[in-house]
């Protein structure tokens, strides 16, 4: 499917009917996730030599919807049970023990080497170089207290009006500091499917008004986990001698996301459920499904790194 899609976008050939491939596609495997990522990118920056008009091509939208439904069905089937937001939040707030074998940031703080921190930056670049963009789609779907609070958080994410402080720019500076390429999308081809799926989830939730509650839950999960994880990653970067720009990205998130966590829980979720209480199961789903995909990614990374193997499709060269 992904090869047929690439050919359609590159050469303008008609998209072939793919009913059997869709039926047989593993919702978590390369083909479906790469195809979805490609289709979603049409709604972000697009591709060189692909017309902007393809964003709303009916055939591509139909394919995207078929892939989304298969992915979403799998996520709903695999996500831990529970529809209570307070319960889902409580699970997020439980910090793993210092020697927890399932935590990537604990591992990197304790044992991570520079090459592993570089790999982590590479796979996170799929999101961080467009940080906050998928979540911004929810703004026109909110109102009142929830909307005001969401805009306040996003204002910080986009640098509070200062280009040099936009979080995507700070991450690009981190990558340059680590000797990595910082141009948008450069490392998509080497990122593991588990990383691609975490970014696809944000796009899936962001592009559908019907999933606005789940996107708010996802945003809450990201903000709640961000500050403690960022603190550990900043510590890891200092330990391996990374430069100031690399450290700054995570130092910024320690401070900012500690505040964002309170605002998103109290005002974004609180305001949304005050207006639309029927969305509580969706908000809880967004939190839990974020954890599901992050756990899958963590298992992949730790399995590779503990054996001193690259977690990327192709290991980085000395030049990044």
- Tens of pLDDT, residue by residue over 253-309, are 887 767 888 899 999 999 999 999 999 999 999 999 999 999 999 999 999 999 999
* pLDDT value of position 319: 52
Residue 154 CA to its chain's centroid (Å): 15
Identify the pLDDT of residue 96: 58
pLDDT at 255: 74
Tell me: pLDDT of 166 over 90: yes
Across residues 179-185, what is the average pLDDT? 95
Those residues with Cβ within 8 angstroms of residue 21's Cβ, 6 or more apart along the chain or in another chain: 1, 31
How far does CA 26 lie from the centroid of its chain? 20
Per the listing, tokens 């990383």 go with 195
What is the pLDDT, as a whole number, of residue 320? 63
- Digit-coded pLDDT (tens) for 248-262: 999 988 877 678 888
Average the pLDDT over each of 65-69, 140-144, 253-257, 309-313 and give the range with the smallest value: 253-257
Q: How far apart are CA 122 and CA 224, in angstroms?
A: 23
Asked if residue 3 has pLDDT above 70, the reply is yes
Q: Average model confidence (pLDDT) for the chain?
A: 93
Share of the chain above pLDDT 70, in %: 97
Cβ–Cβ under 8 Å, residues 194 and 303: no
Q: How would residue 82 be classed by pLDDT, with cut points 50, 70 and 90?
A: confident
- Give tens-digit pLDDT for 83-138: 899 999 888 877 655 556 789 999 999 999 999 999 999 999 999 999 999 999 99
Give the pLDDT band (50/70/90) at residue 318. low
- What is this structure's pTM? 0.94
- Domain 85-305, CATH homologous superfamily name and number: Heme oxygenase-like (1.20.910.10)
Residue 77 pLDDT exceeds 70: yes
Domain definitions of the chain by residue range: 2-78, 85-305
Q: In terms of Cα–Cα distance, which of 186, 178, 260, 182 is closest to 224?
A: 260
pLDDT for position 258: 73
Average pLDDT score over residue span 137-157:
96
* Contact yes or no for 191/58 (Cβ under 8 A): no
Q: What share of the chain is helix, strand, coil (3-state, %, to 5)?
A: 75, 0, 25
CA-wise closest residue to 72 among 194, 273, 188, 214: 214
- Give the model's pLDDT for residue 70: 95
| Distance in angstroms (rounded) separating the CA atoms of residues 203 and 39 | 10
Instruction: Give me the torsion for CA of 47, 53, 55, 60, rounded to 10°.
Output: -100
């Amino acid at each position: 499917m992904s090869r047929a899609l690439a050919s359609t976008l590159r050469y303008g050939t008609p998209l072939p009917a793919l009913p059997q491939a869709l039926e047989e596609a593993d919702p978590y495997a390369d083909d479906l996730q790469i195809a979805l990522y490609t289709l979603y990118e049409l709604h972000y920056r697009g591709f060189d030599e692909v017309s902007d008009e393809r964003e709303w091509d009916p055939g591509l939208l139909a394919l995207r919807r078929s892939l989304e439904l298969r992915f979403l069905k799998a996520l709903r089937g695999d996500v831990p049970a529970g529809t209570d937001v307070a319960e889902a939040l409580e699970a997020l707030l439980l910090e793993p023990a210092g020697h927890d074998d399932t935590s990537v940031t604990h591992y990197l703080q304790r044992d991570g080497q520079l090459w592993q921190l570089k790999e982590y930056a590479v796979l996170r670049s799929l999101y961080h170089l467009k940080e906050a963009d998928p979540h911004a789609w929810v703004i026109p779907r909110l109102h009142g207290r929830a909307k005001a609070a969401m805009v306040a958080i996003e204002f910080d994410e986009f640098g509070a009006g200062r280009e040099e402080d936009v979080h995507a720019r700070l991450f690009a500076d981190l990558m340059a500091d680590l000797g990595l390429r910082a141009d948008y999308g450069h490392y998509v081809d080497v990122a593991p499917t588990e990383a691609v799926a975490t970014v696809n989830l944000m796009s899936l939730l962001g592009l559908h008004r019907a999933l606005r509650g789940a996107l708010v839950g996802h945003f809450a999960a990201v903000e709640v986990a961000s500050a403690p994880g960022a603190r550990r990653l900043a510590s890891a970067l200092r330990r391996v001698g990374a430069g100031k720009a690399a450290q700054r990205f995570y130092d910024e998130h320690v401070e900012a996301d500690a505040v964002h966590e309170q605002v998103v829980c109290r005002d974004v979720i609180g305001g949304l459920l005050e207006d639309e209480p029927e969305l509580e199961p969706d908000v809880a789903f967004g939190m839990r499904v974020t954890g599901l995909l992050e756990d899958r990614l963590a298992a992949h990374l730790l399995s590779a790194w503990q054996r001193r193997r690259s977690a990327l499709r192709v290991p980085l060269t000395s030049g990044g």
